[in-house]
Structures are given as structure tokens and as C-alpha cells.
Structure 1
């Protein structure tokens, strides 16, 4: 089944070329189907790239999905045009009266800041509190995962001695959980962050269940005991070339950065990297939409 997106969204043409089944509003209203309503709080600077990555994954299930993009009102991104934001994005004030079946909160390149020093932290906490009653299931990615662990469970982040950067092997702790149904016992995932969260704090918190961990990269996938919140500390949604683009960007800025681990063939940045995490990414999003959104959300929100 398709995802329903605005007719003129730039990602639409790229998705069509990839044979992702999409549908615009005009065709969608003619179908007598209860679609899933997903809201995406996109905090990433290059919003159009993130839109494409997430829409590609949401469009690969048997479910019809309506997608709404939201940005913060207290901070306006400098890496996307105001026209794009005005055309395709909404703010919390405009949607806070609504109910959503699912929500995605993305990462953001602000992990060097204390949470309270982020200029939209107050708005962020209001949105996260709202999600408890207005959203069936919330998927938090990278900094969004750290923000959720801090706000909902009081688990802070700590700085690493150097950036955790590359594609790392992760082990499942419980393959029977629906979110990781069909996963291999060992899988690979991209990680790109300067901070991490405590393994001990998470496994000792009865409100949380650690689903996967990496010897090199630490905690990766956490689900709350009530299955309301899912936290992913890496970037399964990344394209094959995203880490390469981040590496080139930092090198061009003169930032001291290691070549991403286990990523370029023979650790040679001039060679084309391969995507070794794609199948597990699609599987995770499929499982999330099916087991935690579609199976749990009410047909009619009260």
C-alpha cells in the first residue's frame, strides 16, 4: 500500500524513480480505507534528505500511511528554504489538538549541548509530553532517542573520547520481541554521534528493555516496558552514502575526524561504500508500523 504525501513534495519524484508506491491527496481521498496518520518531527538540518529516507521506509509496507511533517516554531532551520517549510511543514501549535497513530522524532546535530541549553528544548518537552496521550507509538532516532531517555526516564547522555562513527555490529538480546521479529542475531547499523547513554542505567531501569547492544558502539535499540516509546541511538534510515557525505563535510571544515569504521571498502574513502543494513532497516520500520501502530491504534480516536 502507498504513502500519501503532498503532491509537490520534492521527494515524490525520487520515490517514484525508486518504485516506492506513493499517492497524492487527490487519489487518496477516493479510497475507503482507514490510513495510518504518522507525524514526523524533523530536526535534521538537511530536511529534504531526511524526508526521502523516512518516506522510503514508510512506503514499504502493506499499510496506507498519511504523513505530516512538523518543525519547531522556536527555531527555524538554516539549511532548507522558508518556502519549503511553509509549504510542507506544520508546527506543534497547529496540530496539538489532533491524535496520531505514530510519530517519528529524528536526530539533530546538537548533542554537544546540554538538553536544557537547546533553544527549542521547552517546545520539545511539550511535544514529548503531548505524545503520551495523543500518539499511539513514538519512534525516536539518535539525539531524539537520547532526548526521550532523558525526558521520560531521567537517563542522561555522556561525551565520548572521540566520535562513534561508522557501521557497527549489534547483537540482539531478545529476538522474540515483535519490533525485531525476523532480525538476524547479529546485524549492522550506522552510528554517528559524539555522545552515548549508560548501558547499566538502561538495563537497571525496569521501565525499559534493551533489545540490542554493540561492543564497540554501545546501546543501540531500547523499547519502553509499555511499548509506547522506541529509542534507536543510531541511524538505520541512512542511505549508503550518508556517512561518506558527513565525513567529507567534516574534512572540508577542517574538523579532526577518523575515517568511519567498517564502512569504506579497505577503509579507502575514495571507494564506494555498500549498504549492509538496508534489509534490517526496512524490517524494523515494517514491524513498528504493523505491531506497534496498526495493531494498537484505535480505529477512531476519542
Structure 2
């Protein structure tokens, strides 16, 4: 609607450059689980605009800030935002920030829109298999990307290990997608406790911000900003806290069961976990029950 134009975005240096950082060791020498939260749109990109000129970029920033606050309030977690105020960040830059933060999970927060105001409900997306395949091809086409991706494996690709790079990238992408679907399901079920769901299963699409081959990533559509009722709710602090709380609950539920190796959560789980010694004459059902 603007017609031809030239846009120049100016960033503060602390926003423009994100250098790789060591993961936080604030929990007894063990690192925290890192969650990078991405408020969609921003700056010249307002996102969807609902009744009363409610702008998606403002709603999702408020929800994301509250989500970060709730996650940071729990021992063993550390949350970062890709943007902390009203400015635009390119889509690939958002995933770069997550990688440089050594993220265990990337959560992009949005508000949906449709041509008909009746459309409603929250959704959760993970990357589609087709999107994962196309991104893998892009990474392999740039060998420096592939080297960065598997650098932590201790493998030296050299100039001739294209097959090895392809296999390792495929393994990493498959594991990340599986984790994305799993954490997405936890978040979706939690969202269902406070909001109407648009779909009752995690959907898959080729969203650019979900294309990190090595970082589990989900995109949360918190509701339809084009729906008058949901737009009003999404624009209130009380509902924003509820939505953030449900996302936080789903994330923590997943990591409680699947704590990353080397984290305080994993260490605490192993210390608090009970064990059962199998005795002669025990049946399989008894063993399973005592180890549940």
C-alpha cells in the first residue's frame, strides 16, 4: 500500500551484533536451558492489524516479554528476546540470534489473521519435512554453514566429506524436527486450557524462522487478531499473561521430561530420580510399575 519506497533501518550496536555467548552457569555450575523468544514483525512491519487498529507487532512483543519473564523466574532456565522493542529484524537474522545464544529452543510468537472475521483459535506450527529438506540443501550448498552446524561434533569435514556432511545434517534436522513436534504438542495442549484452538494438532509449514536444522523451533499463533473478540482479548495484559503462562507451562513440561545434557535440569533430575532393584521372582509388570 506504500508504493515504491526506500527503507533504511538503523540499529543500536547492541541490537545489530549478537556475538556467540557461553551458556549461563547460574545453577550450581550446570548450564541453564536456553529459550530464545521471537516476537514477530516489528518496526516498519506491523504484522496483521485487527479491529480498532490493534497491531500484531505490539501484541506479540508484550506476550513475548511476559513469556521471557515467566521463564526466567524458574531456576534452570534462561530466556532471551530477538527484539526488545519496536524495530524490525530480518527472518534469518532471528534464527542467527538463536544460534549465537546457543538456544535449546526457539519460540516465535505471532497472531493470526484471515479475510473472514469469524476465523478464531490458537495454533502451533513446526517445520514441514519439505521445508526441512530445502533448508538442508541450502546449508550444504554453503560449506561454511555445514561446518558451523556440526563443528561441535569434533568431525573435520575437509574438502571431500560431502556425504558425511549430508548424513550428519540429516540426523541433526530429523532430531530437531522430532523435538519441535514434541514440544509443540505440549505447548498446544497447554494453550487449550486458556484459549480456543484453531487446530488440535501441531501443524507443519515452511516458515522461514523455523528452518534452523540444529535448533528445535516452533511458531505459536496466539489467536486471530482479525477476529473482533480475540483481538480485544489479545490486547489486554491479563489475557497476554494467560497466553504467556500457557506457553511457558508447555515448554517447561517438555524440558522436564527431556532435559538437555549438561543442564541443571538434567542434573537435578538424575539426583531426584529414584531407582528400583530387580529382585528374583519380580514380574515384568512389577518392574515397570516400580520404575515408573
Give the number of the structure whose residues are more often strand, by fraction: 1
TM-score class normalised by the smaller sequence: under 0.3
Higher RCO (CA < 8 A, seq sep 6+) = 2
TM-score (norm 2): 0.25
* The structure with more radius of gyration: 2
TM-score between both structures, scaled by the size of structure 1 = 0.24
Higher helix share: 2
